[in-house]
Amino acid sequence: MKGPLFNMQNQEIIERITALAEPVAEQLGLELVAVAYQTHTRPATLRVDIRHPSEQTGLDDCAKMSRALEAVLELDDPITSAYTLEVSSPGVERNLTTDREFTAFRGFAVLVKADEPIDGKLQWEGQLIARDDEHIHLSLQGRRIALPRAQVSLVQLTRVGKKTT
């Protein structure tokens, strides 16, 4: 019974951190991409991924976000046990899973893989347009396609920091 309760508490922590980190990122001209709270490390790790919306995310961006977020976390204190704060930009070949990530990386180059062939293909490389309840929308050299979400097994960034034009 400890497992589900523990996961629920982690989810609540992630939601609280997200609510605190989003305005901090916005004030710095950054976008919050993801928040993860990893309790399998000692001490636990709070990872916050950010990106600069118009240029490559740099070390200075991560440092500014880290300092600003530390100040907010000291005041709010949502995590009562020891933890390490890591602020970084999403890595190359990051898998996109959340609505926030699909919104943040709209216009970026992605690789999409399917479980079963769709129109005779198992993978596509193109520009991410959107994700809705039923489809992943891509631009392939200016041609828009919609892939059924139920058949898509992976959506992965191929070049972080570079929007395709």
Q: Is the pLDDT of residue 36 over 80?
A: yes
What b/e string do you get for 10-21 counting C-beta neighbours within 10 Å, with b at 16 or more? eeebbebbeebb
Boundaries of every domain in the chain: 2-88, 99-157
- Going by the DSSP 8-state scheme, the letter that residue 163 receives in this structure is B
pLDDT (mean) for 123-140? 94
Instruction: Give yes or no for residue 165 having a pLDDT over 50.
Output: no
Task: Tell me whether strands 83-88 and 44-51 are parallel, antiparallel or unpaired.
Answer: parallel
- Please calculate the CA angle 48-102-118 and round it to the nearest 5 degrees: 135
Cα separation, 10 vs 161, in Å, equals 29
Angle in degrees, 0-180, between the axes of helices 59-76 and 2-27, rounded to the nearest 10:
120
Predicted local distance difference test score (pLDDT) of residue 34: 87
Is pLDDT of 160 > 80? Answer: no
The per-residue pLDDT for range 78-129, each reduced to its tens digit, is 888 889 999 988 765 678 888 888 888 888 888 999 988 998 999 999 999 9
Q: CATH number for 99-157: choose from 3.40.640.10, 1.25.40.10, 3.30.70.20, 2.30.30.100.
A: 2.30.30.100
> Where is pLDDT greater, at 5 or 151?
151
Greater pLDDT, 92 or 26? 26
pLDDT attached to residue 89: 83
pTM: 0.61
Which tokens sit at 108? 């970026």
Give the E-state strand segments of 39-142 in sequence order.
Answer: 44-51, 83-88, 109-118, 121-131, 135-140
The mean pLDDT value of the chain amounts to 85
Q: Which residues contact 79 (CB under 8 A, 6 or more apart)?
A: 13, 17, 37, 44, 46, 73
**pLDDT for residue 103:** 86
Of the chain, the percentage scoring pLDDT greater than 90 comes to 45
Per residue in 57-67, pLDDT (tens digit) is 888 899 999 99
Would you say domain 2-88 falls under CATH 3.90.420.10? no
CA distance to 5, 32, 47, 151, per residue, from 106 (Å):
35, 14, 22, 20
